[in-house]
Amino acid sequence: MSECSSPDIPERQDIIALCGSGDLDAVIDRFNTDEDFQKPTYLYFALIGAVKKQQIEIARFCLEHGARVDEEIACEAALVRSIPLFELFLEYGWDINSCPGGHGDTVLPYVANPSIVFHYPNQEDHLTYVYE
């Protein structure tokens, strides 16, 4: 799990819901009127919300304003099996061969094979794939 996902941000669920709604104008308005929304941690949660609901333009907005693609974001995109999101991530410098947790497994097999499920037994263990 990313270091960005652990801080207590009371508005976290609101940000995720707003960015998952697909209302780019509302996201831009919030960004322009709420200084907190411009902080990296808030943009991170905004990107998570956009990715979970496959809101490509909102994800692009977040990336344009400094959100980073890390292992958690890549895994969220894999869960929704969104090739357009991966293409967007590549535009913003994501390494297609990056490995969640640095253990040698990329998220791409999960996208290609819907029967694979991510499994994180605990933070010390390697990411493994479970075939259903």
What are 37-75's pLDDT values in tens digits?
A: 999 999 999 999 999 999 999 999 999 999 999 888 988
Determine, yes or no, domain membership for 109. Answer: no
Q: Residue 15: left if φ>0, alpha if ψ -120 to 50, beta else—which one? A: alpha
Domain assignment present for residue 124? The answer is: no
Report DSSP letters for 12-72, one per residue. HHHHHHHHHTT-HHHHHHHHHH-GGGGSHHHHHHHHHHHHHTT-HHHHHHHHHTT----HH
**Residue 93 contacts residue 117 (beta carbons within 8 Å):** no
Cα gap 129→132, rounded to integer Å = 10
Residue 131 counted as domain residue:
no
Residue 105 lies in a domain: no
- What's the confidence (pLDDT) of residue 91? 95
pLDDT tens-place string over residues 69-123: 988 898 889 888 888 999 999 999 998 887 665 556 777 776 666 565 554 444 4
What is the tens place of the pLDDT at every residue in 10-21? 678 899 999 999
Structural domain count of the chain: 1
Task: Kindly state whether residue 67 falls inside one of the protein's structural domains.
Answer: yes
Here the CATH number for the domain that contains residue 48 is 1.25.40
**Is 125 a domain residue?**
no
Rounded Cα–Cα distance for residues 72 and 2 (Å): 6
Q: Domain range spanning residue 86?
A: 3-98
Residue 11 lies in a domain: yes
CB atoms under 10 Å from CB of 80, counted, come to 12
Please indicate, yes or no, if residue 37 is contained in any of the structural domains.
yes
